[in-house]
Amino acid sequence: MENKVIYFDNNATTQVAPEVLEAMLPYFCERYGNPSSIHRFGGSVAAEIENARSKVAELIGATYRDRDGIATEIIFTSCGTESDNAAVNSAIATNPERRKIVTSAVEHPAILSCLKNYERNGIEVVKVPVDNRGRLDMEFLRNAVDENTALVTIMWANNETGTIFPVKECAKIAHSKGALFHTDAVQAAGKVKIDVEDTDVDFLSISGHKLHAPKGIGILYVKRKLRFMPTIYGGHQERLRRGGTENVASIIGLGKACELAISNLENEQRELAAMRDRLEEKIKSSIPKVHVNGDLDNRLPNTSSISFEYIEGESILMFLDMQGICASSGSACTTGSLEPSHVLRAMDIPYTSAHGTIRFSLSRYNTMDEIDTVAAALVPVIARLREISPYWNEAEK
């Protein structure tokens, strides 16, 4: 019991669901054939891949099937990052006369780093700002998109705050100028309803490990009839759109994960939101000077970004970690500078709050008991850190 981990970091990655693991296991030592093989031992696996593809399509509302019943709008990739890059690369390659990409200031690095590279090569990149609740400036977006824009890429939901973006409206704005529209739905898939047809997106990215499938599998949805240029060239897999022998076991796992998400989406949403709300209520009622970040009226049910004023998020995480509690901070500590993340900076969160920001992200495997344990554990941790914080002591004078 002492070593039990309380895992509140599900936007970083999730536990593989036991049902998913069970579905995958036969594909390692029993049905390990290559789906491209002529023999039945390998070939029979191809049918299972198509079954998984259909499940993924169902999760995102992609109803199209070709005459063989195959959901050809879904391309399996290795991860969300690859899917994001593949969408951007294809949009630019198929529209070489258009030299502009419009995105948001709060995208994941999977998009922003990719765009930086295009910027170095002469493509104009415009980042739409957000307000202090993380909501997109739609007027800015409307003015930024023009006939020179190849692609508008706006995430479905933000990974740090959970804020959900109006992708349907964004897609409409893109299309009104003949631009393509991509959405990074890595954090949204399995947590909120996605309908690619109603929203009319051209591309959409998903990553398996964020919805209880394993790491190393993702998908890119590409609307039917859209011209597509691959990022990875190779064999004829994925209808020549993504070379490389299929990651069969993980594809099967992702199909199962989508099936689980579809069957329980509404219940899970309710349960996650109830746990998140209780966590926030408990924290707000027992600790002074805390703020919840993001668009509180429109966010993922599992994500809570909380700023504890005048202390460092990393110190909070360290103390929580000593008690087996896992969460994330809102810092980009890769540089060692503990700078607040680009998301919190774009939201103009005051730096005394941004530094002490923690992201708690829940999953179906969390419980109300864990919520109570974490809320209680935070009280002495925050009090102790504030005691030794010169900023807190200064502010309290």
Residues classed as catalytic? 333
DSSP 163: B
Please state the closest distance from residue 257 (CB atom) to ligand PLP, in A.
13
Piece of the chain touching ligand PLP by CB under 6 A; list 16-24, 59-67, 79-87, 368-376: 79-87
From 155, 174, 194, 374, residue interacting with ligand PLP (rule: CB under 6 A): 155
Residue 162 touches ligand PLP, criterion: CB under 6 A: no
Residue 110 touches ligand PLP, criterion: CB under 6 A: yes
From 184, 202, 268, 280, residue interacting with ligand PLP (rule: CB under 6 A): 184
For 197, the enclosing helix (H) or strand (E) is: helix 196-199
Distance of alpha carbon 317 from alpha carbon 6, whole angstroms: 13
* 3 state SS of 267: helix
From 186, 204, 283, 378, residue interacting with ligand PLP (rule: CB under 6 A): 186
How many amino acids of this chain bind ligand PLP (CB under 6 A)?
A: 14
Binders in 193-252 for ligand PLP, by CB under 6 A? 207, 209, 218
The answer to whether 290 touches 307, Cβ cutoff 8 Å, is: yes
Please state the closest distance from residue 381 (CB atom) to ligand PLP, in A.
26
Which lies closer to ligand PLP via its Cβ, residue 177 or residue 215? 215
The single-letter code of the amino acid at 95 is N
User: 71-93: string of b/e by CB count within 10 Å (b at 16+)?
Assistant: bbbbbbbbbbbbbbbbbbbbbbe
Contacts of 156 (CB under 8 A, 6+ apart): 164, 165, 167, 183, 184, 185, 187, 188, 189, 192, 194, 204
Distance of alpha carbon 336 from alpha carbon 213, whole angstroms: 32
The single-letter code of the amino acid at 92 is I
The answer to whether 136 touches 168, Cβ cutoff 8 Å, is: no
Residue 134 touches ligand PLP, criterion: CB under 6 A: no
Distance of alpha carbon 298 from alpha carbon 273, whole angstroms: 12
- Among the residues of 145-229, which ranges form H helices? 167-176, 196-199
Residue 45 touches ligand PLP, criterion: CB under 6 A: no
Please state the closest distance from residue 224 (CB atom) to ligand PLP, in A.
24
Residue 81 touches ligand PLP, criterion: CB under 6 A: yes
Residue 187 touches ligand PLP, criterion: CB under 6 A: yes
- The residue with its CB nearest to ligand PLP is 80
Residue 307 touches ligand PLP, criterion: CB under 6 A: no
Residue 329 touches ligand PLP, criterion: CB under 6 A: no
Piece of the chain touching ligand PLP by CB under 6 A; list 80-88, 97-105, 196-204, 264-272: 80-88
**Contact residues for ligand PLP, defined by CB under 6 A:** 79-81, 84, 108, 110, 155, 159, 184, 186-187, 207, 209, 218
